[in-house]
């Protein structure tokens, strides 16, 4: 069970003067059960990459396979991909639109064609999961909630789809430290309990170092480094290849050390000099 990207490239506004190749020749396999963090500078291609994982963007070149399903141009395959791969975008609360919290969370499961009983069960479970009391909140408008609560409703909507892979693009952006901890604790809990694969795009090195079992560093649309967090920082050469800024590298290494993972601090010394 895995998502495979085979030589995937994507160009925005191809064949226009604004043409921009955002990702180039990406070869990756993400297995069920992994916790992968994707990091890299703004504009390095992270969002473009993850939007391919559930068929939202179609590669300009190359192909994507999800659990042996080759994503093609046909809609039914994209639908199947969306069932397997849940996607939480940046500021997902902007996509809330129903009158009640219940209806918003039920929207996805309804689209899967599930029956009322199963939808009820999933909404209840998803709300419980994000710590929103079902009876208290189900009839309320999502727009009366705080920013952090709205974010939780949006995440509950994706969790209710029970995907095998969960893609999160900066899921804690704009939240206070309490709100971000609440979200990340839930994601870690879900990962541990269900074995769901998590693919997290984040610029917060602390969050990444705390949770990820694999780091993918994007640089100018390509995978610069891919490996276990501690291994990524073993060699000066690998470190330079990431293209990350020194402050980012330092905070990542500190966080890895806090987690008890061995990091080669000599590398840090060399690069600070
Ligand atoms: P990241 O998520 O790492 O910040 P993106 O995937 O958003 O990177 O962007 C990769 C490149 O593609 C950047 O140069 C960006 O300007 C460009 N890009 C992203 N979205 C669009 C778009 N909708 N139209 C044109 N260019 C885009």
Does the structure show a pLDDT above 70 at 46? yes
Establish whether residue 52 lines the binding site of ligand 1, counting it when its CB lies within 6 angstroms of any ligand atom.
no
Does the structure show a pLDDT above 70 at 125? yes
The residue that leads in pLDDT, 39 or 259, is 39
2-227 carries CATH number 3.40.50.12500:
no
Q: What is the pLDDT, as a whole number, of residue 268? A: 58
Residue 81 corresponds to which tokens in the numbers above? Answer: 């991909």
What is the share, in percent, of the chain residues with pLDDT greater than 70?
A: 94
Does the structure show a pLDDT above 50 at 272? no
Q: What is the pLDDT, as a whole number, of residue 178? A: 86
ipTM over 0.90: yes
Mutate which of 9, 12, 51 to test ligand 1's pocket (most atoms within 8 Å of Cβ)?
A: 12
Highest-confidence segment of 54-58, 143-147, 191-195, 206-210: 191-195
Per-residue burial over 192-226, b if 16 or more Cβ lie within 10 Å, else e, is eeeebbbbbbbebbbbbbbbbebbbbbbebbbbbb
Establish whether residue 202 lines the binding site of ligand 1, counting it when its CB lies within 6 angstroms of any ligand atom.
no
* Alpha carbon separation from 118 to 83, 96, 101, 108, 158 (Å, rounded): 15, 21, 17, 12, 15
């Amino acid at each position: 069970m895995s998502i495979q990207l085979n030589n995937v490239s994507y160009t925005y506004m191809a064949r226009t003067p604004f043409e921009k190749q955002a990702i180039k020749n990406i070869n990756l396999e993400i297995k069920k059960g992994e916790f992968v963090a994707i990091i890299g500078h703004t504009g390095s291609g992270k969002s473009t990459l993850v939007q391919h994982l559930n068929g939202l963007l179609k590669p300009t070149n190359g192909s994507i396979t999800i659990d042996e399903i080759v994503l093609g141009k046909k809609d039914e395959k994209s639908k199947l991909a969306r069932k397997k791969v849940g996607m939480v975008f940046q500021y997902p609360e902007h996509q809330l639109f129903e009158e009640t919290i219940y209806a918003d969370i039920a929207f996805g499961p309804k689209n899967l064609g599930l029956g009322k009983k199963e939808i009820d069960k999933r909404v209840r479970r998803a709300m419980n999961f994000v710590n929103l009391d079902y009876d208290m909140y189900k009839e309320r408008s999502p727009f009366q909630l705080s920013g952090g609560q709205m974010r939780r409703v949006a995440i509950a909507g994706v969790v209710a789809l029970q995907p095998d892979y969960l893609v999160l693009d900066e899921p804690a952006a704009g939240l206070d430290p309490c709100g971000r901890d609440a979200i990340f604790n839930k994601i870690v809990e879900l990962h541990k309990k269900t074995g769901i694969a998590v693919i997290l795009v984040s610029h917060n090195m602390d969050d990444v170092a705390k949770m990820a079992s694999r780091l993918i560093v994007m640089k100018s649309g390509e995978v610069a480094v891919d490996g276990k967090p501690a291994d990524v920082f073993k060699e000066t050469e690998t470190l330079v290849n990431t293209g990350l800024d020194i402050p980012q590298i330092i905070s990542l290494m500190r966080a890895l050390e806090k987690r008890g993972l061995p990091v080669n601090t000599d590398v840090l010394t060399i690069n600070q000099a």
